[in-house]
C-alpha cells in the first residue's frame, strides 16, 4: 500500500496536471499560435488557413523557424518600439548565410527598403524585402553584444531581464544545431540609423506604431530573430516593444518582378539563386 508521503506526492502531480490542462486555449501576450490559423492578428488579405507560422514575440524575446523557398514572412511592430534583429542562413546549406557587406554593395544602397535583396556571401539572394512601411532600419551596427549590454544594463544573459541580441541569437541558433561561430553581422528592422556627413552613425528611432515589413524567402532559410533594443538607442532603460511574425506560402521573386530587373547586379544575383536551386533539383 502507498504511504501517506506517496499519496501526497501523487496528489501534487495530479494537481499540477490539472493546472497545466486548465491553461489550454489561453492566449498570452507572447506566444506561438498553434495552429498558425488561430492567430488573432492574421494579416489583411491572407487566408488564415494559408499561414505556416504565427507568433507574438515578447520584448527581449526571440524566435526562429525553418521556412521553404517562396515563403512570405511579415513582421509587424504594433507599438513602435520593436527592434527585430534578423539573421538568415540557408537551411539546406547553413554555411551559406547573410552577408551584410554584399547586401549593401550589390544594390549600391546601404539603407534598406522595399525591393532590397538580402544576399549571402556566395552572390545569391537569401530573401527580398517585398514590403516596407517603416523605412527605419539598420545594416551598419549589428545587434547588441554581451559586453555592451553588461556595461549599459548590468546583465546580458538570455534569461535575464536585459538580454543581448548576441545571447538570444546564439540560443536561437543552438535550436538548429548551430553555434555562435555560425553567426555573423545581421540587420535590424524598425529602428533606423543614419550616417552623418562626418561619418558618425546616429540613431533615428522608429517610424511609429503599426509599421510592417514583408520578406520573401528566395531559398529555404533558417530565420533567427531577436527582439531587443538597438545598441545605439540612447535611452538608459531597456526599452523594446513586442513583435508579431506571420508567414505563408507564396512565390519567390521572378523575372517579372521589378526587384529582379532593377539593376544588372541584382539580376545576376537572382539568376545565380535560380541556377543553384535548379541544379539541386
Strand partners, 118: 127
162 in any annotated domain: yes
Quick one: pLDDT at residue 28? Answer: 58
3-state SS assignment for residue 161: coil
Q: 120-149: per-residue pLDDT in tens? A: 999 999 999 999 999 999 999 999 999 999
- Average pLDDT per 10 consecutive residues for the chain, totaling 281 residues: 66 61 57 96 97 98 98 98 98 98 96 97 98 97 98 98 98 98 97 95 96 98 98 97 98 96 96 96 86
Quick one: pLDDT at residue 281? Answer: 86
Q: CA-to-CA distance for 13 and 31, rounded, in angstroms?
A: 25
Tally of domains within the chain = 1
Using alpha carbons, select from 149, 138, 145 the residue that is nearest to residue 238.
149
Q: CA-to-CA distance for 147 and 103, rounded, in angstroms?
A: 26
Q: Residue 46: how many CB atoms within 10 A of its CB?
A: 16
5 in any annotated domain: no
Quick one: pLDDT at residue 42? Answer: 98
The model carries a pTM of 0.91
Instruction: Give CA torsion, residues 21, 24, 26, 27, to 10 deg.
Output: 120
271 in any annotated domain: yes
10 in any annotated domain: no
Q: Is the separation of the CB atoms in 63 and 82 below 8 Å? A: no
Quick one: pLDDT at residue 8? Answer: 65
Quick one: pLDDT at residue 30? Answer: 80
Using alpha carbons, select from 113, 107, 259, 126 the residue that is nearest to residue 189.
113
22 in any annotated domain: no
Q: Residue 207: how many CB atoms within 10 A of its CB?
A: 18
Long-range contacts of 36-45 (CB under 8 A, 24+ apart): 36/246, 36/247, 39/246, 41/76, 41/244, 41/246, 42/246, 43/74, 43/76, 43/246
221 in any annotated domain: yes
Q: What are the cell numbers at 21?
A: 490542462
Q: Is the separation of the CB atoms in 246 and 41 below 8 Å? A: yes
Quick one: pLDDT at residue 1? Answer: 61
37 in any annotated domain: no
**What is the domain range of residue 64?**
55-280
Question: Dmax of the chain from CA atoms?
Answer: 82
88 in any annotated domain: yes
**Half-sphere exposure (Cβ direction) of 174: Cα atoms closer than 13 Å:** 9
List of residues 6+ apart from 101 with CB closer than 8 A: none
Amino acid at each position: 500500500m502507498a504511504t501517506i508521503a506517496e499519496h501526497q506526492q501523487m496528489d501534487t502531480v495530479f494537481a499540477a496536471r490539472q493546472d497545466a490542462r486548465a491553461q489550454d486555449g489561453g492566449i498570452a501576450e507572447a506566444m506561438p499560435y498553434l495552429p498558425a490559423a488561430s492567430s488573432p492578428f492574421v494579416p489583411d488579405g491572407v487566408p488564415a488557413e494559408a499561414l505556416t507560422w504565427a507568433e507574438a514575440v515578447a520584448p527581449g524575446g526571440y524566435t526562429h523557424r525553418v521556412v521553404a523557398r517562396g515563403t512570405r514572412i511579415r513582421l509587424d511592430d504594433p507599438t513602435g518600439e520593436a527592434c527585430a534583429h534578423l539573421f538568415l542562413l540557408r537551411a539546406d546549406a547553413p554555411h551559406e548565410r547573410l552577408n551584410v557587406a554584399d547586401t549593401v554593395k550589390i544594390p549600391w544602397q546601404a539603407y534598406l527598403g522595399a525591393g532590397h535583396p538580402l544576399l549571402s556571401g556566395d552572390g545569391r539572394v537569401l530573401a527580398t524585402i517585398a514590403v516596407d512601411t517603416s523605412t527605419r532600419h539598420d545594416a551598419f551596427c549589428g545587434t547588441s553584444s554581451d559586453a555592451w549590454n553588461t556595461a549599459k544594463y548590468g546583465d546580458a544573459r538570455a534569461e535575464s531581464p536585459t538580454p543581448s541580441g548576441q545571447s538570444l541569437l546564439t540560443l536561437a541558433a543552438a535550436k538548429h544545431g548551430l553555434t555562435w561561430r555560425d553567426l555573423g553581422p545581421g540587420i535590424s528592422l524598425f529602428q533606423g540609423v543614419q550616417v552623418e556627413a562626418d561619418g558618425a552613425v546616429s540613431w533615428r528611432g522608429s517610424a511609429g506604431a503599426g509599421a510592417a515589413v514583408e520578406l520573401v524567402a528566395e531559398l529555404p532559410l533558417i530565420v533567427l530573430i531577436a527582439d531587443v533594443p538597438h545598441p545605439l538607442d540612447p535611452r538608459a532603460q531597456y526599452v523594446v516593444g513586442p513583435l508579431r511574425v506571420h508567414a505563408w506560402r507564396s512565390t519567390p521573386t521572378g523575372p517579372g518582378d521589378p526587384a529582379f530587373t532593377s539593376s544588372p547586379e541584382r539580376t545576376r544575383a537572382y539568376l545565380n539563386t535560380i541556377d543553384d536551386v535548379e541544379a539541386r533539383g
